[in-house]
Amino acid sequence: MVSSIQGLASITNPLNSVLIEKKLINVDQKFIQLVSLAEGLPRTEVVESGRNYWRGVCRSLIFRFPDDLEILKLDVRSYVDRSKGIIQIRSAARLGQSDLGVNLRRVEYLFNQLEEF
């Protein structure tokens, strides 16, 4: 369940999931860019795509294990500067107790690629 005020669901197992949020300038543009990057990830299927929220399933190369990937643009911008905001990305394995760091690397990759835009 997603709330544009509260954010994405919290992480229940830090060994197989990650939730990172960043304060960004030009948050609307950055959200669009992150969605584009996420949709370009190998073996990723888009499940839901909206103005403030995107969700997909990323599958591992060999065994096709599913990981849930979510991107949320939080609606917390002030009236003074409408370009600033917060984006959260959550990536979580559906199976197993450990993902060997795959989800953390995925989220870090997305934010690193965003900086290169």
Residue 70 has pLDDT above 70, yes or no: yes
- Closest residue by Cα to residue 35 from 86, 72, 85: 72
Location of structure tokens 């599913």: 66
Task: Round to whole Å and give the CA distance between 113 and 117.
Answer: 7
Pairing mode of beta strands 17-25, 44-49: unpaired
Contact of 22 with 111, CB cutoff 8 Å? yes
Could you tell me if residue 7 is inside a domain? no
How many domains are contained in the chain? 1
Residue 1 has pLDDT above 90, yes or no: no
Residue numbers of the domain that contains 38: 17-115
Render pLDDT for 36-62 as a digit per residue (tens, 0 to 9).
999 999 999 999 999 999 999 999 999
Could you tell me if residue 11 is inside a domain? no
- Closest residue by Cα to residue 56 from 65, 64, 66, 46: 46
Render pLDDT for 10-41 as a digit per residue (tens, 0 to 9).
999 999 999 999 999 999 999 999 999 999 99
Contact of 17 with 99, CB cutoff 8 Å? yes
Q: How far from 89 is each of 43, 63, 64, 86, CA to CA, in Å?
A: 18, 24, 21, 10
Domain of 43, CATH number, reads 3.30.310.80
Could you tell me if residue 93 is inside a domain? yes
Could you tell me if residue 9 is inside a domain? no
Could you tell me if residue 1 is inside a domain? no
